A and B are shown apart, each in its own frame.
Chain A
Amino acid sequence: MLRIKNLHAGFEGTEILKGISLSINKGETHAIMGPNGSGKSTLAKILSGHPAYEVFSGEVVFEGKNLLELSAEDRSLAGVFMGFQYPVEIPGVNNAEFLRMAYNARLVNEGKDEVDPLDFDDILQEKMNLLGMENKYKERNCNDGFSGGEKKKNEILQMAILKPALSVLDETDSGLDIDALRVVANGVNKLNNEDNALILITHYQRLLDYIKPDFVHVLSHGKIIKSGGKELAHELEAQGYDWLTTTN
C-alpha cells in the first residue's frame, strides 16, 4: 500500500529525515516510536504534504501513485488521513457542516453526488454512535474551545467519516488522560480492518497497550534504527530509548 524508499527530508533547509525506508501493507498497523526530536512528526508532516516541509530525495509511493507529487487535498482524496498532534481550531465553522464538506469532497472526487445535510446527519450519527460520542460534536464549531481529549476524539470522528485507506496518527495519545486514551484507542480499533492500514506515531508505549501494532519501528536522528514486533515496544518501555541509541 505504502512504500517509502530512502527518504531524505526536512524543514527550512535542515535535513531531519536521513534516509527512511518503510513498507506497509493492507491490514497492518505500524508503530513509529522514538525520542523527542527524532523526526517522528516530520515524517507525518511529509506524508500529509505540509507546505513548509521539503523533500530532498527518496520516494513515497502510495497505491502506485507518487504521493510526493500530490497536494495535501489530493492525498486526502486518494485515501491518506492525517490525525494531527495538535488539531487546529476553526471558529465559525460548524463541525457537522465541516465534516459534511469533507465527506462531499470525497464523493465528488469519486464522481458521486453530494449528500444533503439531512442524509449526512444519518451517516454522522451512525459514526458517532459507533465511537460513543456525544451530540456536542455536531453542534459545536470545529475544535473551537475543545479540550485536548475532545480534539483528538474529533480527529477519530473525521477518520471514521472519511474512511481512509491509510491513516497516520501523529501522537494521538499525547495530552490524553487514561479515559480519553481508551475512547480514542477503541475508536481506532473499531475502524481498523483488513483493507486499511495504520501508522501510529507515538512517544510512549502506553498507546500500544490499547492498539496492538504488528510492527514497531524505532526512529532516532532521522533514521529507523530498529524494527521488530510489538514486544519491541515493551523492551523500550522497560529500558528507555538509551538502550538502543547508545548501542548504535
Chain B
Amino acid sequence: MSSTIAESSNGEESVVLDLHKKFIETSQSSPDILALNRKALDQFAKLKFPHRKHEMYTFVNTKDIAGAPFSLKTKSSSPQQFVKQHVYAGCERSHLTLVDGILCSELSDATALGTAVMVGSLTDAVKHEPIKTALQESIEQENDVFASINSAFMTQGIMIRVGKDKQVEAPLQILNISTGGESGPVMTVPRIYVHLEPLSELKLIVKYVGEEGNYFVNSVQDVVVEENASLTHIQVQADSTDAWHFSKNRVHLKRNSYYRGYQATNGARLVRHHNEAWLSEPGAGLELSGVSVLVDDEQSHQFIRVHHEVEHCTSQQRFKNIINHRARASFDGTVVVNKGAQLTNSDQLINNLMLSDEGHADCKPNLMIFADDVKCAHGATVGQLDEGQLFYLRTRGLSEAVAKEILTQSFASSIIQEIPFAPVIEELNQTLLKKLKAN
C-alpha cells in the first residue's frame, strides 16, 4: 500500500526529489537550515504539483514547469554596470543585490540605512528561537507547492529587521538578478524575511531582473509587521521574456500595523503572485495593488487570500491588467472574514483592459464571511477602450495610435501614480509606453 503511494507521488515530483538529494549532499548550510530544508521537502511531497483543477491553480497551467529538469545555480556574479542600471535613484547607498538568490555583498551598499536596519542571513536569523519557530510553522503550514520548493532549497536568504521605533528614511531596494542558464532552465530561490518591530517604518522596493534566458525565479517573502509599524512593499517584476516568475508573500499583521503592497508585472512567460495575509490583531490594515502589462503570449496570475481574523481590520485590493495579443491574466482573490471579525472593512476591485480579440482574462473575486457586522465589497470588470473617449481625443488632433496610448496609460494610472516611490512610477510609465509602441 505504502509503496503504491510512494510510486504515485514519484511522477513529476521525482525531478525535485532527486535534485534535493544532490542539493543536501553538497549544501554547506547550517544544520538548522538543513533541517528546515528537509521539513519543506516533506511538505512538498505531501502537496505535490497541482493538477489542472487544483483550486489554487485553476487559471494557471503549470505543466511546463512541473517536472521540468531544472538545475540549481548557487554561485554567480553579475557585472557592476548591470547592477547600476537597475538601482533606483535614491537607493544608491541603500540596496542589497541578490544574484541568483544569493546576497552579493560586493554589489550591495547599505550604508545609508545606518543602525536602524539590521541586515543578516537566515542562518543567523534562525539562531533566534522565535524566528526559527516562525519559519518552521510557516513551512509546515505551507499550502503552495512552489513556495515549499523554495523552502526546500533555500540557503542563506536575507533577513531584514527594523528596530523598535526606527523610521527608516532611505528607501531600501533589493535587486534580484537572475543570470539564466547556459544550458537548460535554472531555478533560483530568493528568500527574504522582513521583520518590522513595533512603531517602525520601512519602504522596501524589490526588483526582479534577468539578463536573459528561460530561468525560473521562485521567491518567497515572509513579512511580519508588529504593533503600529508600517511597511511599504513595492515589487517590480521585470524579468526576461522567457522567464518563469513565482512569488509568494506571507504577511502577518499585528495590532494597528499597516502593510501597503504594490506589484508591477511587466510580463514574462509565466508570472504568478501569491499573496497571503493574516490580519491577526485589531486595527491592522492591508492594501494590495497591482498592475500588469502583458503582450504576445505573456501570462500573469494573481492569487490572494486575506484572512481577517479579528475585529476592526481593513483590507483593500485593487488590480488592473492590460492585455494585448494572446496574453492571459487571472485574478483569484478571497477575503475570509472569520467569526468574530466584526466591523471588518474590505473591498476588492479588479479591472481588465483587453486590447486584442485573442487575449484572455479570468476573474474570481470572492468573499467568505462568517461575521454579521461587516462591510465587504468586491467587483470585477473586463472591457475595451471606450470608443467615445477615443473619438473625443481624435477630434483634438491626436492620432488614433496616440489616443489609444493615452487611454491605456490613463487606465493604469490610478494604480501606477499612487505608488509612493517616484522612480518606479517613471519606470513603469516608460515600460508601459514602450510595450504599447512596440506592438
Contacts and interface: CB of A to CB of B under 8 A. Distances in A.
Contact of B392 (A88, A91, A109): A88
Nearest to A87: B392
A84 interface: yes
A106 B396 CA distance: 9
A111 interface: no
Contact of A76 (B386, B395, B411, B414): B395
A51 B391 contact: yes
A166 interface: no
A26 interface: no
User: For the side of the interface on A, what is the size category?
Assistant: 20 to 34
Interface residues of B, number: 23
Contacts of B391: 50-51, 72, 88
A162 interface: yes
A92 B394 contact: no
Nearest to B408: A92
Interface string B405-419: 011011111100000
Given A51-B391, A72-B391, A92 B396 contact: no
Contacts of A102: 396-398
A57 B387 CA distance: 25
Nearest to B406: A93
A42 to B, nearest CB: 15
B130 interface: no
Given A91-B414, A101-B402, A72 B394 contact: yes
Interface string A79-94: 0011010011111110
Contacts of B168: none
Interface in B368-427: 386-389, 391-400, 402, 406-407, 409-414
Nearest to B392: A88
A88 B391 CA distance: 9
A116 B8 CA distance: 66
Interface string A35-79: 000000000000011111000000000000000000111011100
Contacts of A49: 394-395
A158 interface: yes
B389 A76 contact: no
A180 interface: no
Interface string B134-177: 00000000000000000000000000000000000000000000
A105 interface: yes
B393 A90 contact: yes
Contacts, number: 76
Nearest to B388: A88
Given A91-B414, A92-B411, A92-B413, A77 B392 contact: no
Nearest to B415: A92
Contacts of B413: 92-93
B397 A162 contact: yes
A77 B402 CA distance: 14
A98 B394 CA distance: 12
Contact of A92 (B387, B397, B398, B414): B414
Contacts of A90: 389, 392-393, 406-407, 410
A84 B388 CA distance: 11
A71 to B, nearest CB: 7
A90 B395 CA distance: 14
B398 A101 contact: yes
A98 B413 CA distance: 14
Nearest to A82: B395
B409 A73 contact: no
A48 B395 contact: yes
B414 to A, nearest CB: 6
Contact of A73 (B389, B394, B412): B394
B11 to A, nearest CB: 48
Contacts of A101: 396, 398, 402, 406
A49 B394 CA distance: 9
Contacts of A98: 393, 396, 406
Contacts of B407: 90, 93
A48 B414 CA distance: 31
A91 B396 contact: no
B402 A92 contact: no
Contact of A71 (B387, B393, B394, B411): B394
Interface string A15-50: 000000000000000000000000000000000111
Interface of A: 48-52, 71-73, 75-77, 81-82, 84, 87-93, 98, 101-102, 105-106, 109, 141, 158, 162
Interface of B: 386-389, 391-400, 402, 406-407, 409-414
22 contacts: A49-B395, A71-B394, A71-B400, A72-B395, A73-B400, A75-B395, A76-B394, A76-B396, A89-B389, A90-B393, A92-B409, A92-B410, A93-B406, A93-B407, A93-B409, A93-B410, A98-B396, A101-B402, A105-B402, A106-B397, A141-B410, A162-B397
- Which 10 residue pairs across A and B have the least CB separation, nearest first? A92-B410, A76-B397, A88-B392, A102-B396, A72-B394, A92-B413, A105-B397, A73-B394, A93-B410, A77-B397
